[in-house]
Homo-oligomer: A and B are copies of this chain.
C-alpha cells in the first residue's frame, strides 16, 4: 500500500498500463515536457519517450481524431483533454466516430480509447475550467463513462478503462486531485471490482444518497453531519456513469424508500434525471417520496466568486435529505 494523491494514483495507473502494454500511448496538450497542467503525466515522457507520451498541437478534434486512426492501427491511445470546457471541439469525433466505429464496422474495428477529462468546479478558475459535461457522454451510445472519487478507484478504474476494448470517457474530479488515499499498486486487476460496478461507500438506513466524482467526499461529510442529527444516510458512489449499475442503489432504496441524487452538473438532463427515472422504474412500490435532485443550477458555470452558490454543498445535500424525508426544508410550504 502506498499513500498517494489522486493525481499520483492516476500517474501510477498510466505508468502501469504503459508498462503492461506497449500499444498504450498518451496524447494531449502539454502532457510531455511539462507533465500536464495538473502534473498528472509528470515524468512519463522522460521514462517512456516522446513517441509514447505525445505533446500534440493545440487542437482537440485532432487529438481525438488521430487517436481514432491510431486505434485503427492497434494502439490504445489515452487522450488528455486539458480541461472539461475544451472537450467540445472534439465532440464530433467522439460522438460520430469513437462511439460508433465498432458498430459501424460490425465489430471489426475496435476503439479502445480512453479520454481523460479533469472535470468539475470548486477550484476558483475562470470560465470553461469548471464544467461538468458528463451527461453529454452518458447519453451517447457506444461510450462507457467512468468517474473515480478516490485514489484507489482512480488507479484501478483507469487501468480497467485502458484495458477495455470499448471507448471510455474518464472523468477526473479535479478539485480532489490533491486528496490522498491508500493505493494498492500491485493489486490484481482481475480481482478488482468490475469497472461497471457502483458501490456503497457509507452504510445507512434512512435515505440513499447517490453521487459520483467530486461530490462523494461531500456526501460522506453530509452522512456524518446527518448522523449527528439522528439521520442515517447510505451513500452510493456510482463510479460507472454509463452503464449505470442499479444493483446497489436498488437494494438500498428498497430499504430506505428515499433517495437523493447529487451532482455539480445542471439539473435538467443531468445524470440525476436518469437515476431518478431509472430508480422510479425499478423501485416504484418501495418509494416513500419522489427522488430528490440536488444539483448545479441550469446556468452556465458562474464566475468563481459565485461558484459556492452553484455547487451543491453539505448544507444543500442535507436540505435535499430533509425534502426526501418530508421534514421541514427549503421547499416546505411550496406546492410541487
Stretch of A176-184, A227-235, A283-291 at the chain-chain interface: A283-291
By a CB distance below 8 angstroms, the chain B residues around A270 are 139
> In whole angstroms, what is the CA distance A297 to B95 when docked?
16
CB pair B104 A127 closer than 8 Å: yes
CB pair B142 A300 closer than 8 Å: yes
State how many angstroms separate the Cβ of A264 from the closest Cβ of chain B: 13
Please pick, from B92, B135, B292, B293, the residue contacting A269 in the complex, using a CB distance under 8 A: B135
> A138 in the interface, Cβ–Cβ < 8 Å?
yes
> In whole angstroms, what is the CA distance A268 to B127 when docked?
28
How many A residues touch the partner, as a band?
35 or more
Copy number in the complex reads 2
Stretch of A34-42, A159-167, A194-202, A273-281 at the chain-chain interface: A273-281
By a CB distance below 8 angstroms, the chain B residues around A138 are 268-269
By a CB distance below 8 angstroms, the chain B residues around A281 are 276, 290-293, 336
Stretch of A9-17, A20-28, A83-91, A311-319 at the chain-chain interface: A83-91
| A to B CB contacts below 8 Å, 19 in the list | A88-B95, A99-B300, A100-B300, A104-B300, A136-B139, A139-B266, A141-B297, A141-B299, A142-B299, A244-B268, A272-B277, A273-B277, A276-B280, A277-B293, A281-B290, A281-B291, A281-B292, A281-B293, A284-B289
